[in-house]
Structure 1
Amino acid sequence: MAGLAHGWDRRSVSDRALHVLPYEGDHDALARRLRTRLTSGPGFAVVTGVPVHALPTEQAQEMAVAMMRPLGRPLPQGTGSDESLAWLVRDEGVSAHTDERRFSEPAYTSKSRGHLHLHNDAAVSPFGHEPDYVSLLVHRTARAGGATVLVDALTVHRVLAHDHPDHLALLHTPFAFDRRHVTPPGRSPVVWGAPFAHRDGHLRARCNTVRMRGAYHLLDRPLPAVRGAAIDALDEVLHRPELALTLELAEGDCLVVDDRRILHGRTTYQDHDDPGRRRCLVRVMAHAG
């Protein structure tokens, strides 16, 4: 497993034993096992068998926060009456997009049932935070679809260094990101950061190519051609099928990722007609403890 700490692709991490952990009620012990996978392994883990199936949503939220507290300090998500330590990722009947390139300003992409492109949450400094860890606890699954897709940014960086070295150099400089949906009160809807940066001896990622392109609409200036080409190179590598691991998460599974390293996305899904059975994940963001 130690070799995975330097990056992985779909084949090298396909053995479920490398990233699956059974749930245990001792959350301190569970956090120790998770931390090993996050810091010395593939950068993510799936905890199976979390006992949430019979719980109402509010108690599932409490469970998600309780599991993450020993791993790090949970961060508030949302603003005003929406603020919560446990964010509900579920379809609330709005489209996340106005067209293929721009997001609908008031819409949270987590509140739709559409495809979510590969990204890490820290890329846009959501609600003023840069989370180290993100967890997604599955309370209810969709009728069909809704698979989770993971890509290792360490591997993406290595491929870029080999195939697109000139573009990679530019991706180590600040880019603008559109964060209208998660802007802290009184702050700019555009945030700047380098897609790749070395901090404390580790490579850290901020990748969200759709929001990198969209930011220039907010800045009311064209995306420079050289920067557009760098984003295109990043997109090309991100979508190489041999790099992506697809997970079909079940009810009671909890995905935990090192958000500084692991990029995640989602396939489209079809939901149940019964509101009580509709897909619902509980997201917790945390600073490392």
Structure 2
Amino acid sequence: MSENTTTEIGWGSTTLDTRRDLWSMALGDDERALLWRDARAERWEDAAPLRERLRSFGSQSLQAVGFAHMPNLVDPAAGEDEVIAALSFVLRDFGEIIPQNAEGALWRVLRDQDGDGNTELGFHCDTCDLLVLLCLQPAVRGGGYTKLASARHVRSIIGRERPDVLATLEEDWTFDRTGRAGQQVIVSPILYSEEDGTVGCYYQTRTVRTSPERGGPPLTARQWEALDVLDEVLYRPEIAFQLRLEAGDLLVIRNSRVLHGRSPYVDVPGPGSRRVLRAWMSAGAR
């Protein structure tokens, strides 16, 4: 199937369980070594056919399901600076890596904030075109699964069960992100339809709920109910697909199509602790 004929699908957890070919493509160790020889040199030679296969797979997966999973893409035992430099070269086929904070950081380690390692990280969208997650070390004592939910599937369910709530979610909402990288205040529907027929989403539960405290418009009873209904649907077991990232795995998420979160995990201090790197990308015209 070519990129031009790839169509978006709405999916639940069971769909992805049975159609791994839609979203995951693993590299063998020999393929990985070939890829990284070229990536370290920042020029495509022997790995050019593999590069094209990765580029085509990523493009089709991001279009069909909104994310692309590439197991065993990097050697987690390699030096972190070396990994970041080579991976940044590979990712040029998907867009441009952009800063995540006022300091201009292009890669950040996902660390516990407010004790969120021991608690659920709720569904949300990052403020970029593509979210990149690179796992160098999973939580050794379990948990830390990445949770993914299809905006199209969620919109379909809410539209069928509560069309009044869907109409509210399709109105403009205010997300006050003051102090964070990028646009400080975003006004956007939470669920919306694109001109090409795809279903989009933008949701950050904290910033939308606390925006009135920072001068944004107050939320009505109808809006509070809509947020509660959205959260209830997102947490239905048949909605979200849970993916455990292993060391060396790469995950690219199209933020306008997929909401993501993270299950709780138990970590250990020191060199064995969970280590996941994040990058934000602008996809441009890709």
With structure 2 as the length reference, what TM-score do the two structures score? 0.81
How far apart, CA to CA, are the structure 2 residues paired with 1:211 and 1:270?
27
Partner letter of residue 22 of structure 1? A
RMSD: 2.4
* Cα deviation code 1:115-170 (max 9, x no counterpart): 21011113xxxxxxxx2221111011112211111110110011111011011111
Deviations 1:99-125 (A, max 9, x none): xxxxxxxxxx7xx66421011113xxx
> SS of 2:122's equivalent?
strand
Task: Note the residue ranges of structure 2 that are not aligned, 5 or more in a row.
Answer: 36-49
Alpha-carbon deviation of 1:265? 0.5
Work out whether 1:205 is the aligned partner of 2:214. Answer: no
Q: Does 1:134 align with 2:131?
A: yes
Does the CA contact (< 8 Å) of 1:27 and 1:66 recur in 2?
Answer: no
Displacement of 1:34 in angstroms is 0.7
Greater C-alpha radius of gyration: 2
SS in 1 for 2:248: coil
SS at match of 2:68: strand
SS where residue 182 of structure 1 aligns?
A: coil
Q: Which letter maps to 2:236? A: R
Matched, 1:264 2:265: no
Residue 21 (structure 1) aligned with residue 25 (structure 2): yes
Q: Does 1:6 align with 2:15?
A: no
Query: Is the Cα contact below 8 Å between 1:179 and 1:211 reproduced in 2?
Result: yes
Name the SS for the 1:268 alignment partner. Answer: coil
Q: Please tell me the residue identity of whatever aligns with 1:214.
A: T
> Is the contact made by 2:267 and 2:274 (CA closer than 8 Å) also made in structure 1?
yes
* Aligned equivalents of 1:191, 1:4: Cα separation in 2: 28
Q: Aligned-pair distance for 1:43? A: 1.7
| 3-state SS of paired residue (1:67) | helix
3-state DSSP of counterpart to 1:68: helix
Deviates more, 1:3-12 or 1:161-170: 3-12
* Count of aligned pairs: 258
**Alpha carbons of 1:134 and 1:221: their partners in 2 closer, same or farther (altered >3 Å)?**
closer
Unaligned runs of 5+ in 1: 97-108, 123-130
Range moving further from structure 2, 70-79 or 25-34: 25-34
Q: Is the 8 A contact 1:64 1:282 kept in 2?
A: no
CA–CA separation in structure 2 for the residues paired with 1:78 and 1:27: 30
**Aligned in 2, Cα 1:66/1:19: closer, same or farther, shift over 3 Å?**
same
CA contact (8 A) 1:62 1:86 kept: no
Q: Is the 8 A contact 2:135 2:246 kept in 1?
A: yes
Q: Which residue of 2 aligns with 1:105?
A: none
TM-score (norm 1): 0.81
The answer on whether the counterparts of 2:118 and 2:266 sit within 8 Å (CA) in structure 1 is: yes
Matched, 1:36 2:60: yes
Deviation of 1:33 after TM superposition, in Å, equals 1.3
The aligned residue for residue 169 of structure 1 is 167
**2:215 aligned residue:** 219
Correspondence for 1:150: 148
Match of 1:277 among 267, 272, 275: 272
Q: Is 1:61 matched up with 2:72? A: no
State how far apart, in whole Å, the 2-side matches of 1:165 and 1:21 are. Answer: 37
2:107 pairs, out of 86, 89, 92, with 86
**Runs of 4+ residues over 6 Å off in structure 1:** 1-4
Contact 1:177 1:192 in 2 (8 A): yes
Alignment partners' CA distance in 1, 2:125 and 2:230: 14
Q: Is the 8 A contact 2:154 2:233 kept in 1?
A: yes
